[in-house]
Amino acid sequence: MENFRFYVPTDIRFGKDQLDALHDSVAQFGNNVLFIYGGGSIKKSGLYDQVLAQLAGLNVTELSGVEPNPRIESVREAVKLSHENNIDVILAVGGGSVIDAAKVAAAGAKYEGDAWDLVKDASKVGEALPLVDILTLSATGTEMNRNAVITNFDTNEKLGTTGWNLIPAVSFLNPENTFTVSKWQTAAGSADIMSHLFEQYFDRAEGTDIQDFVAEGILKTVIKNAPIAMQDPTNYDARANLMWASSLALNGLTGKGKKNGWTVHPIEHELSAYYDITHGAGLAALTPRWMEFALDATTVDKFAQYGENVWGIKNDDKMKTAKEAILATHDFFASLDIPMTLQGLGIEEDTKFAEMAAEAVRIDALDKNAYAKMTPADVEALYRAT
Nearest C-alpha neighbor of 12 from the set 141, 120, 163: 141
Selection from Zn ion, ligand NZQ, none that 168 binds (CB < 5 to 8 A by kind) is none
The Cα–Cα gap between 122 and 332 comes to 35
Partners of 148 in the beta sheet?
Answer: 161
Instruction: Give the shortest CB-178-to-ligand NZQ separation in angstroms.
Output: 5
Counting DSSP H helices and E strands in the chain, the numbers are: 16, 8
By CB under 6 A, name the one of 54, 74, 140, 161 that touches ligand NZQ.
Answer: 140
38 contributes a contact to ligand NZQ by CB under 6 A: yes
338 contributes a contact to ligand NZQ by CB under 6 A: no
CA distances from 329 to 192, 210, 285 (A): 13, 22, 10
- Binding residues for Zn ion, rule CB under 5 A, total 1
Selection from Zn ion, ligand NZQ, none that 74 binds (CB < 5 to 8 A by kind) is none
In 3-state terms the chain splits into helix, strand, coil percentages (rounded to 5) of 55, 10, 35
**Binding residues for ligand NZQ restricted to 275-334, rule: CB under 6 A:** 279-280
192 contributes a contact to Zn ion by CB under 5 A: yes
Nearer CB in complex with Zn ion: 133/192: 192
Nearer CB in complex with ligand NZQ: 196/330: 196
Nearer CB in complex with ligand NZQ: 119/326: 119
By CB under 6 A, name the one of 95, 252, 307, 376 that touches ligand NZQ.
Answer: 95
CB contact at 8 A, 382 and 360: no
CA angle, 95 as apex, 91 and 97 as ends, to 5°?
A: 85
221 contributes a contact to ligand NZQ by CB under 6 A: no
Selection from ligand NZQ, Zn ion, none that 40 binds (CB < 5 to 8 A by kind) is ligand NZQ
101 contributes a contact to ligand NZQ by CB under 6 A: no
Part of the chain binding Zn ion (CB under 5 A), chosen from 188-196, 212-220, 240-248, 370-378: 188-196
Q: What DSSP letter does each residue of 92-157 carry, written as one string?
A: EEESHHHHHHHHHHHHHTT-SS-THHHHH-GGG------EEEEE-SSSS-GGGSSEEEEEETTTTE
Instruction: Give the shortest CB-86-to-ligand NZQ separation in angstroms.
Output: 27
The Cα–Cα gap between 49 and 261 comes to 42
Separation of first and last alpha carbons in the chain? 34
By CB under 6 A, name the one of 89, 167, 181, 245 that touches ligand NZQ.
Answer: 181
Partners of 134 in the beta sheet?
Answer: 93, 172
Contacts of residue 291, defined as CB under 8 A and 6 or more positions apart, other chains included, come to: 303, 325, 326, 329
Nearer CB in complex with ligand NZQ: 10/321: 10
Instruction: Give the shortest CB-13-to-ligand NZQ separation in angstroms.
Output: 17
Binding site for Zn ion (CB under 5 A): 192
Where on the chain is the footprint of ligand NZQ (CB under 6 A)?
38-42, 45, 68-69, 94-98, 100, 136-137, 139-142, 145, 147-149, 177-178, 180-181, 185, 189, 192, 250, 265, 279-280
